[in-house]
Structure 1
Amino acid sequence: MPYKPPPSLDCLTTPSSLANLTSDSTQGESGLSDFEAKLQHLTAEQVEVLYSEYISGEKIALLIERYGIDVAPSSLIKAFPPVPSATLACPYCKVSLYERRKSRTTHRWNESMAFCKTCTHRHYYPGRSRWRRDCTCQPCLRAREQAKQAQAVDQRRRIKGHWSLANRKPLALHRLSFTHKLQLLAMLEVRMDAQHNYLAPAEQLHHDARVSPSTAMDATILQALHEASILLVDPDSPLDAFSDDLTPKAWRDKVRWVANVSLDGQQRAGLAPLYRVLYKELSGGPLPQWGVQIIAMIEALSNEEVCAYIAARCAEHGLPFEARKKAAEIATQLLQDHPVRHVCSLANSAIRGALSYIARAHVTKLHASNTIPANMLAMGERGMTPTRRAPASTNCCSTCCCSRMTMAWSARSATTLPSFPFTPRSPFGRASRRLQIFCGRLAGGGALARHLQHSADNSCIQQ
């Protein structure tokens, strides 16, 4: 038997009522959407009854036929008028916000927002959505921008107070050690921005712009200069270079740096004049009092270059490199008798042996990688036997001579690498040719090694 609508609803489905519904639905300023106008022929009580039946699980098609609603079943929930919020009000219009009614299939994490019928303000409930959303109305955009500017002003004030340069007295250039002077010169060459008078952050540098053989050693040098108050954090660095704490922390690779060095003993020197003075002083040739520092720096650069080479080659082959400490110890030992290029050749052979070990014995990559330092030492010791030792040369007085010997011996297998007739632990005061030979061991030490080589090429050590 066909279903008949209740008698109380017959009067609402007359042509005149439908005409009123049509006229109301076309009102542009009525505040009702096209869907909400579909229920305009129902009273408020009938709308609540309809919504209760909808929530209780009544078939939507049956409800549409019973109440004479001209809407698709999937759009019935959109036709219900929103309900006012008891706790929320529009901060601009000072009227209550409204919420759309919940569908019977709506999840709690996907509940709708509250909105203002007068303006375009929206309120998104915190924690009720998996994604954080903010209102995009013009007043909210302006308010957020003002709050952001106020926060930036406050953060800059805290940064200026903590990292202020006003209370940091500049250091006289002549009081710096040779090591610090050379490190500062290399740092200026790589990072100097003479126009703005600061050192650029590490993350803004090109891939090949480095002070030392590795980024880790670059960071160590930068930290040493900072701890010695030679380089200071620029408080005018971008805000994202600092943490937003009460005591802002500076991110080492994001902040800019200021040279805290004076040429006249009073004012901080500009980077360009400072670079020229440093370059002129260090280009004059090594002095006797620099000897210990130069040798220590060359040994550190050589060791770091070998370790950086091993790490790069392991990365190319997908091998982990967790035996860095052991590799550094072995590299220090091998560098007493071999130049850097030979030790790198040993490392390359050891890495190939590790790859062969993986294929042959089916061991893990970590296991095979841990055998690299020991294999380097074993091959280096076999190459040092008396029958394979390189002939002593009385004419080894320049880097070119050492390079020719190195190229000749590199043609042999990795197990027959020779011993050179010099060592970094030899007495420093013999002649500058010894320093030239040491610097000849540095194949790619960055700006620091270039300035060491330049210093050795221009003068002899004063006896």
Structure 2
Amino acid sequence: MKLETLSFDWDNYVGKLKSFDRSQIISIMDDYYNSNLSVAKIISKYSISRGIRNLSKEFPLIYIEEKCPYDKSNLVREMPSRNGNSTRIPKCTICGHELKRNCNCKGCQEKNRKIREQKRKIIISAYALNTNKVKYEDLSVSSKIYLSALLHAGLNDEASKISGEKIIEEKLSPTYEFDRIILEHLLSENIILVDPMSPIEAFSVNDLSIAYYIFKVNYLINVEDDSEGIDSLEYPDRSNIIQYKEECLAMWKQIALYECLEYLVEQMREARFEFNPQKKTKLVINHLIEEYSIGQIWNLIYGSVNHAAAWYQKSNVSKKHAANSVITILNNRGDRAKAENWKLNPYHRSYDNKLSQLSMVFFDSILQIGSEGYEKKPSINIIGQ
């Protein structure tokens, strides 16, 4: 290493070699980089304190070509070790700016403040709250139930907005897919609006586009309150909902689909099968929902997954082949159970599988049938009893 070509920061030197004069330090560095002497022999040669563990870290810092963006002075970095490694991040000796993404110097703090301020202006412009409020009485049955469940899951303590992160924590619906369906439905109807004052990190802003992360932003309720205020949205009058029996039956079947998908994914994971439910899976489960309760389909799922797992263990089929057979087995077992009039006892939810807010709102508050929502086949005759 040609030490004479380097520019050292002697003015701010605080290393453990400061008792030596500059020429001696240069000699030590020359032996370190340009001789075959071991570090131990160098320490002995110059009577250096044996308490030094890493000699190269005690050398003066050197100026590099990279300049500080705020005061234009050259940054400094530590000398590398003999193997060429250098872990210290280049730094400005004047303002403390460091050459790293999350530098916290005053200059970077001010720069980030201006960037965030500009992003906020863009977000407010893109998601300006200029939409007229919708009337509650004009909402569909699905919208009223979805909104009730969403408020149960995500309403903050001040009852002023819905927290996107809380929606996940409190489990809005049985699956993330269903969560997204609910949010996109309510957004499309202007029943909820993206809160432009959500955390900056909840948005993706660049020169070409702006978008938001659906489970990170907060939402504002855009429904006209009646005399009871938000209570009537979170706890709707069931009598005004259950009179629409066809819509309630459709909701029951939709919840049943995702309850069964959640259980299927759980069982596949326990069997260590890779699985991502696609259209055929939903077709099979929807077919079963016409004949069986949620709990009975859980029974069929449990047996089907275990049958496929046993087949994999006892034969030469691949794990992927065995996993792919589960839906076919499930469909066949469902048809055979009907043809042979099997007595299918409804299975129960596992203790570590949290009940969703949507399922509780619908079965406990709207239909008021509780566990029967899982034990009985979806039927219009049960609604409003």
Q: Place the TM-score, normalised by the shorter chain, in its bin.
A: 0.7 to 0.9
Task: Please state whether the residue corresponding to 2:272 is helix, strand or coil.
Answer: coil
Quote the RMSD (CA, aligned, Å).
Answer: 4.4
Greater C-alpha radius of gyration:
1
Q: What is the match of residue 162 of structure 2?
A: 199
Could you tell me whether the CA contact under 8 Å between 1:38 and 1:69 is conserved in 2? no
Within the candidate set 308, 313, 317, 2:271 is matched to 317
Q: What is the match of residue 262 of structure 1?
A: 224
Q: CA deviation at 1:452?
A: 5.3
Is 1:298 matched with 2:252?
yes
Classify 1:97/1:359 alpha carbon distance in 2 versus 1 (closer, same or farther; 3 Å).
closer
Amino acid across the alignment from 1:161:
S
Classify 1:336/1:280 alpha carbon distance in 2 versus 1 (closer, same or farther; 3 Å).
closer
Q: What is the match of residue 447 of structure 1?
A: 358
Within the candidate set 135, 138, 148, 1:175 is matched to 138
Consecutive unaligned residues of structure 1, counting only runs of 5 or more, are 1-28, 127-131, 391-408, 415-443
Taking every aligned residue pair, what percent have the same amino acid on both sides? 19
Q: What is the match of residue 155 of structure 1?
A: 119
Q: Distance in 1 between matches of 2:262 and 2:241?
A: 29
TM-score by length of 2: 0.73
TM-score by length of 1: 0.62
Q: Distance in 2 between matches of 1:355 and 1:214?
A: 24
Is 1:326 matched with 2:308?
no
Q: What is the match of residue 355 of structure 1?
A: 309
Task: Please state whether the residue corresponding to 2:220 is helix, strand or coil.
Answer: strand
Task: Please state whether the residue corresponding to 1:236 is helix, strand or coil.
Answer: coil
Q: Distance in 1 between matches of 2:247 and 2:151?
A: 20
Amino acid across the alignment from 1:168:
T
Q: Distance in 2 between matches of 1:188 and 1:30?
A: 59
Q: What is the match of residue 188 of structure 1?
A: 151
Amino acid across the alignment from 2:136:
L
Could you tell me whether the CA contact under 8 Å between 1:183 and 1:448 is conserved in 2? no
Could you tell me whether the CA contact under 8 Å between 1:243 and 1:250 is conserved in 2? yes
Amino acid across the alignment from 1:179:
S
Higher helix share: 1
Within the candidate set 319, 325, 331, 1:365 is matched to 319
Could you tell me whether the CA contact under 8 Å between 1:83 and 1:98 is conserved in 2? yes
Q: Distance in 2 between matches of 1:256 and 1:206?
A: 12
Deviation track 1:326-347 (CA, whole Å, cap 9, x = no partner) reads 2221222222222222221111
Alignment of 1:91-170 (within 5 A): 105=82, 107=84, 110=86, 132=100, 141-165=105-129, 167-170=130-133
Alignment of 1:46-65 (within 5 A): 57=35
Alignment of 1:213-232 (within 5 A): 213-232=174-193
Q: Distance in 1 between matches of 2:356 and 2:63?
A: 71
Consecutive unaligned residues of structure 2, counting only runs of 5 or more, are 1-10, 348-354, 370-380
Q: CA deviation at 1:133?
A: 7.7
Amino acid across the alignment from 2:313:
A
Task: Please state whether the residue corresponding to 1:152 is helix, strand or coil.
Answer: helix
Q: CA deviation at 1:362?
A: 3.3
Q: Distance in 2 between matches of 1:302 and 1:347?
A: 13
Deviation track 1:196-244 (CA, whole Å, cap 9, x = no partner) reads 411121x33575x334332321221111111111111111211221123
Amino acid across the alignment from 1:249:
A
Within the candidate set 276, 286, 297, 2:232 is matched to 276
Classify 1:31/1:305 alpha carbon distance in 2 versus 1 (closer, same or farther; 3 Å).
closer
Within the candidate set 28, 38, 43, 2:20 is matched to 38
Q: CA deviation at 1:389?
A: 3.7
